[in-house]
Amino acid sequence: MRILAIESSCDETAVAYLEVDRAKVKRLEHIVSSQLIHAKYGGVVPEVAARAHAETMPRLLNALAKKVAGSEDGKKFGRKIDVVAATRGPGLVTSLRVGLDTARTLALAWKKQLVGVNHIEGHIYANWLGNKKLFEESPKAVFPALILVVSGGHTELLLMKGHGKYHLLGATRDDASGEAFDKSAKLMGLGYPGGPAISRLATKGNPFAYDFPRPMLHEANYDFSFSGLKTSVRYFLDDKRESIGDAGFIADVAASVEQAIVEVLVAKAVRAGRDTGAKTVMLAGGVAANRKLRATLASAFAEKLPTVRFIEPPLEYCTDNAAMIAVAAAFRAKSKDFEQPAKTDVDPNWELGRL
Ligand code: KG4
Ligand code: ZN
């Protein structure tokens, strides 16, 4: 099966080509274009994002056609494709529109099957890209899988019972963990997106220098809340305004903020792993690129639940990309979960597994 996948749910425009044959990946090509324009606004501006997707998409498709079919000839490229896929939600409505409408049009023009992918599901399937044997393994060896979703817009614990089968265990009641990183970074004057900046600085700081709140750490549920952490960082920095220019101080704050976020995420994941009897645990979403989170989760499971296999997505595929959308589309296509190109629509609030 040869898949063209398109991702445009937020501020990355991305395309990918994936060829899978009898559960083996034969070829993967992908291109991501990040919209740097949002940095000056300190966050993603939806109207600006949609316009940038529309401007960039044809250029990316041409570049992918050149890689895959050897030329920008759309007809030739179309002959190499069996399935066209795009992210259908969740995300920014006008940004999603650009990717899905491109895919609908190509599916109609080329007479191909169309698959609509859930963006979070894409993040989950990024794990398959770093662990190719997952493609061949029996579902019994992998599921139920506990998924810790940590992206810019979502923080949740999902129990994945099989391909396409999700049960939502818990979610954040306010900010996502990515937002906690981004908003804290903004207060610290580190720019957008703040997660990578905080994690870079944190390597030089003391994670126990300052005791920021660990929201809902001891509550017997799988929910999260991160807005209080951001508020506490704000008050803390207001008191220490004279120290903000001090590199050692900022590194200590970054390390302490990271420590607070990671501790809560890991504790709740371990609780869920214990309660559900999951066979594997996986990270999904942009914050999965955080090295401290990866290392802490791995060692917590090794120590407390050693029979649960820890699987991590490759760093390259943690933040938004279309390669992960292509993998998710391959599994949806396998179960003949197709959309009607003339009828389907974006679903900006599409949630996985909520009953
Ligand atoms: O999944 P993603 O690319 O976009 C959404 O689907 O929302 O996630 C983006 C988020 C941003 O909040 C960014 O700050 C965060 O992932 N992020 C990180 C790191 N790399 C990206 N957060 C912490 N540490 C990182 N290394
Ligand atoms: Zn994402």
Question: Residue 244's pLDDT is what?
Answer: 87
Alpha-carbon distances of 291 from 28, 195, 311, rounded to whole Å: 25, 11, 14
Going edge to edge, which strands form the sheet with 24-34? 24-34, 12-21, 2-7, 83-89, 113-118
Question: Residue 298's pLDDT is what?
Answer: 98
Whether the CB-CB separation of 117 and 329 falls below 8 Å is answered with yes
- 193 CA from centroid of ligand 1 (Å): 7
* CB of 313 shorter than 6 A to ligand 1: no
- Atom of ligand 1 lying closest to residue 120 CA: 6
Question: Residue 240's pLDDT is what?
Answer: 94
Tens-level pLDDT at each residue, the chain (355 residues): 999 999 999 999 999 999 999 889 999 999 999 999 998 888 889 999 999 999 999 999 999 999 999 999 999 999 999 999 999 999 999 999 999 999 999 999 999 999 999 999 999 999 999 998 999 999 999 999 999 999 999 999 999 999 999 999 999 999 999 999 999 999 999 988 899 999 999 999 999 999 999 999 999 999 999 999 999 999 999 999 999 889 999 999 999 999 999 999 999 999 999 999 999 999 999 999 999 999 999 999 999 999 999 999 999 999 999 999 999 999 999 999 999 999 999 999 999 998 7
Question: Residue 192's pLDDT is what?
Answer: 84
CA-nearest residue, atom 23 of ligand 1: 195
Q: What structural domains and CATH numbers belong to the chain?
A: 2-127+317-334 (3.30.420.40), 139-315 (3.30.420.40)
Label residue 164 exposed, middle or buried (CB < 10 Å: 0-12, 13-18, 19+). Answer: middle
Q: How many CB atoms lie within 10 A of CB 235?
A: 10
- 285 CA from centroid of ligand 1 (Å): 7
* CB of 195 shorter than 6 A to ligand 1: yes
Cα distance between residue 45 and residue 11, in whole Å = 9
Question: Residue 39's pLDDT is what?
Answer: 85
Question: Residue 153's pLDDT is what?
Answer: 93
- Name which of 25, 323, 326, 319 is nearest 152 in CA terms: 319
Question: Residue 40's pLDDT is what?
Answer: 86
User: What pTM value is reported for the model?
Assistant: 0.97
- 8-state DSSP, 1: -
* CB of 8 shorter than 6 A to ligand 1: no
- 102 CA from centroid of ligand 2 (Å): 19
Cα distance between residue 324 and residue 294, in whole Å = 19
- Atom of ligand 1 lying closest to residue 285 CA: 1
- 8-state DSSP, 317: G
CA-nearest residue, atom 8 of ligand 1: 286
Question: Residue 43's pLDDT is what?
Answer: 84
Label residue 142 exposed, middle or buried (CB < 10 Å: 0-12, 13-18, 19+). Answer: buried
Rounded to 5 degrees, what are φ and ψ at 55? -70, -35
The residue type of 127 is N
- 7 CA from centroid of ligand 2 (Å): 9
* CB of 101 shorter than 6 A to ligand 1: no
The alpha carbons of the chain give a radius of gyration, in whole angstroms, of: 20
The ligand with the least distance to the CA atom of 153 is: 1
Strand intervals (E) in the chain: 2-7, 12-21, 24-34, 83-89, 113-118, 145-150, 155-162, 165-171, 280-284, 309-311
Whether the CB-CB separation of 178 and 150 falls below 8 Å is answered with yes
Question: Residue 91's pLDDT is what?
Answer: 97
Consecutive H or E run containing 347 = none
- 123 CA from centroid of ligand 1 (Å): 11
b/e 23-37 (16+ beta carbons within 10 angstroms → b): eebeeebbbbbebee
